[in-house]
Amino acid sequence: MLHSNHTSPMPVTPAILTRQDLLDFFSFAPIAKSARRIGMEWERFGVITTTGAPLPYDGPISVSAFLQNMLGVGGWSPVADDGGLIGLRHADGMITLEPGGQIEFSTMPAANLGALHDVVARYATTADRVAATMGIHFVGRGFHPTATLAEMPRVPKNRYDIMRRIMPGTGKLGLDMMHRTASVQVNLDASDTADQAELVTLVSILQPIVAAIFSNSNMVEGEITPYSSYRNQVWLDTDPARTGLLPGTAVRNFRIDTYVDYLLAMPMYFYERGGKLVATPGGNFADFMHGRLAGHSGEFATIQDWALHVTTGFPTVRIKPWLEIRGSDSQDFPDAMAVPALWTGLLYDDHSRAQATALCADWTAQEINHLHLTTPRLGLDTTFRGTTIRPLAQELLRLAQLGLKKGEDKFLESIDL
């Protein structure tokens, strides 16, 4: 019999994430006000020019073919998933595909609105030129105006496949959200953690007014509906556990602690191991942290798992730790620039921000929730304290104009109230 002095290694106990680890994920060094940046994520529908039909994923005239042709204009590199080509990278930002083939351009952070405009203009000019040569036209609307859900393509991405299986059980319109909606998302910096909490609260309260300003999705399957923004109506019936107002915002006591609690309570979709997503429908991240996730016993969450889980929350404002402001319908270019311009003018200028805060200082939680539930249907005609919200929208526009630097107010010229 052979003998060895070698002994089996003791099992390594995984490092268990702590609540502080989760909080630290959202921490950041204080940022000087002059150094705050602006980002934008702009989604559009591609349609076949001659018919208006949505682009399929594959084929000679398709979203895949569009991405391939964009590779030929220089500066872009491919991003692939198991199902195929799903995006492109560039020094200016990324092109990604949403579940229904919506084409999203996410900019790198820009120092100011002028620089952001230049980045988006370069992309729009190139993308529209490439699309035109293929018989493709892009539509910037909050909801696809003509296509049925069945007519929309299904982008073959693991993340989306899992979500498609879960969404029908959490709301009636989750699949519509995935495949038939498009937005302009604005990404802004907070100067410190206290500023972060204040901004999340203010944006959450004002978002219905801003959403009403940019509402343009009243057409569904070729018919005019009673909704000003059917896109925002869809979000109301998608998944109440991960959408809508963040806890504490309507009563003005939001803290990052509150946000962590919200994410811990939010059911999991998946985690990633070995480059593959593992579905965990209904799983709880707190159990995952301690290796007790049902059906996945012995798997312990990492901070990368937490980062992925954060992306599966879809509230009005999402934190990463920058702010992602998510409530506006998509727009055509250059009108899309009005969305970041409005939020920047309101939030990055001290005077305008103080005035905007004062404007809504005495709004009750009931009134704030009323706005969120009603503006998708009535838009600027939503009633508030005996009148419509149109005067409020006009005041926010005025404050944003005052808050912008010289020459930047031109980005707001497309807004007609």
- Predicted local confidence at residue 220, as pLDDT: 98
Q: What is the mean pLDDT of the chain?
A: 94
- Predicted local confidence at residue 282, as pLDDT: 81
First to last CA, the chain: 90
Question: What pLDDT, in 10s, does the model give residues 320-348?
Answer: 989 999 999 999 999 999 999 999 999 99
225 burial via Cβ count (<10 Å: 0-12, 13-18, 19+): middle
- Predicted local confidence at residue 298, as pLDDT: 87
240 burial via Cβ count (<10 Å: 0-12, 13-18, 19+): exposed
Task: Please list, in sequence order, all residues whose beta carbon lies within 8 angstroms of the beta carbon of residue 70, skipping any fewer than 6 positions away.
Answer: 76, 88, 95, 126, 127, 130
- Predicted local confidence at residue 226, as pLDDT: 97
- Predicted local confidence at residue 84, as pLDDT: 75
- Predicted local confidence at residue 335, as pLDDT: 98
Binning pLDDT at 50, 70 and 90, where does residue 5 land? very low
Four-CA torsion 214, 46, 54, 42, nearest 10 degrees: -40
- Predicted local confidence at residue 392, as pLDDT: 98
Domain boundaries, the chain: 23-266+313-406
Nearest 5 degrees, angle CA 268-CA 322-CA 355?
120
Mean pLDDT of 292-314: 94
394 three-state secondary structure: helix
Binning pLDDT at 50, 70 and 90, where does residue 13 land? low
Task: Please list, in sequence order, all residues whose beta carbon lies within 8 angstroms of the beta carbon of residue 299, skipping any fewer than 6 positions away.
Answer: 271, 273, 288, 291, 293
Task: Please list, in sequence order, all residues whose beta carbon lies within 8 angstroms of the beta carbon of residue 311, skipping any fewer than 6 positions away.
Answer: none
For residue 82, pLDDT beyond 80 = no
User: Scanning the structure block, which residue is given the tokens 């020019």?
Assistant: 49
| Whether 393 contacts 100, CB under 8 Å | no
- Is the torsion defined by CA of 325, 329, 333, 336 positive or negative? negative
Mean pLDDT of 245-272: 96
Question: What pLDDT, in 10s, does the model give residues 171-203?
Answer: 999 999 999 999 999 999 999 999 999 999 999
- Is the torsion defined by CA of 332, 337, 340, 343 positive or negative? negative
For residue 3, pLDDT beyond 70 = no
Residue 256's CB: how many other CB atoms inside 10 A? Answer: 18
Quick one: what percent of the chain has pLDDT higher than 70?
96
- Predicted local confidence at residue 6, as pLDDT: 42
- Predicted local confidence at residue 341, as pLDDT: 98
Left (φ > 0), alpha (ψ -120 to 50) or beta: where does 313 sit? beta
- Hey, which residues does 93 pair with through a beta bridge? 90, 107
CATH 1.10.150.120 applies to domain 23-266+313-406: no
- Predicted local confidence at residue 14, as pLDDT: 65
Mean pLDDT of 356-361: 98
| Whether 266 contacts 241, CB under 8 Å | yes
DSSP letter for each residue of 286-317:
HHHHTT--TT-TT----HHHHHHHHTT-EESE
* Strand 276-279, strand 270-273: pairing: antiparallel
| Whether 134 contacts 66, CB under 8 Å | yes
- Predicted local confidence at residue 4, as pLDDT: 37
Binning pLDDT at 50, 70 and 90, where does residue 83 land? low
